[in-house]
Amino acid sequence: MSDWLIFQGTDSPHDGIKNLPKPPKWREFGDAKEKERGQTFQVRRNEIELVNAALYLRRPLLVTGKPGTGKTSLAYKVADELQLGSVLQWPITTRSTLQEGLYRYDAIARLQDSQGKDNTKNIGKYIQLGPLGTALLPSSHPHVLLIDEIDKSDIDLPNDLLNIFEEGEFEIPELARLPQEYQTVQVRTYDGNVATINKGRVRCTQFPFVLLTSNGEREFPPAFLRRCLRLTMENPDEAALKRIVQAHLGEEIMSEAEVLISEFVKRRDRSDAGDLATDQLLNAIYLVTRERSPAGDDKERLLNALMKYLTSAEDI
């Protein structure tokens, strides 16, 4: 049995977990993960140009590409290089609405806390801005907003975003209709801070850098596309993959990694086979280049499992 195994399927408990090495950099969490994601992303010339165009024009950037091409990492790269703070991420599902992106109002909690008394002056406790709402707060520099997988949204959400993208402001009706003495309210933001809202209106002073990602699973209405700049991210070639692997795992493993990179490119580029993502390659190289790593048949089985095409048909 290979000594790389920590869980061994035996009947006897043991302390093998002490041999678990540090995680790969892309599986660290907290602030370290965000910083790593921005600093190791290998950006290409056309991507640099479209990012700059979006910054100059104050337009959202719609980035389309296959899974694993680095669409979301581009947002972290921009935030890191330009020192724009943490990325405000809005992961989209079929249930996502514009309201969710702007703010949430917990009317039930407010009613429960009131106990029949007027708690208007504390209404800010029950409102939290969403990622889009936080990105539109007045600031000295643009916030970075990542709207992830917009193609998974309800059919109406892209159109619902149009006015926000054009005007850069929105109203919170629950605050706008308050009496004059309560026109200035402090609310929580998506990133854990506190913002002051006047007369129920949020209006940006710097339009955020908005990056929307799409896996290309649907068409978008022309009115939505007109308000976005569009970038298609291609799969990285072999030279780019070498730079990516080196950025994540270091120069010392490159001699062993080059064979796997070449095999990965050949497997990925078979036109009728399916998709492979760059992080699958990183996972494979990480496992086989550790001090304790699989060998022989273990290694071959593991590599085949890690390099499965991104289709459930492979599991049948």
How confident is the model over 226-247, as pLDDT tens digits?
999 999 999 999 999 999 999 9
Amino acid identity of residue 36, one-letter, is E
Digit-by-digit pLDDT tens for the chain (316 residues) are 458 999 989 999 999 999 898 899 888 887 777 777 888 888 999 999 999 999 999 999 999 999 888 999 999 999 999 999 999 999 999 999 999 999 999 888 888 887 777 778 889 899 999 999 999 999 999 999 999 999 999 999 999 999 999 999 999 999 999 988 888 999 999 999 999 999 999 999 999 999 999 999 899 999 999 999 999 999 999 999 999 999 999 999 999 999 999 999 999 888 677 889 999 999 999 999 988 899 888 899 999 999 999 886 556 5
Predicted TM-score of the model (pTM):
0.87
Strand partners, 210: 145
- If 0-12 CB within 10 Å is exposed, 13-18 middle and 19+ buried, where does residue 101 land? buried
Q: Which CATH code is given to the segment(s) 43-233?
A: 3.40.50.300
Share above pLDDT 90 across residues of the chain, in percent, rounded to a whole number: 72
The residue extents of the domains of the chain are 43-233, 236-311
User: In which order are the strands placed within the sheet that holds 61-65?
Assistant: 87-91, 144-148, 209-214, 61-65, 229-233
- CA gap 23, 27 in Å, rounded: 6
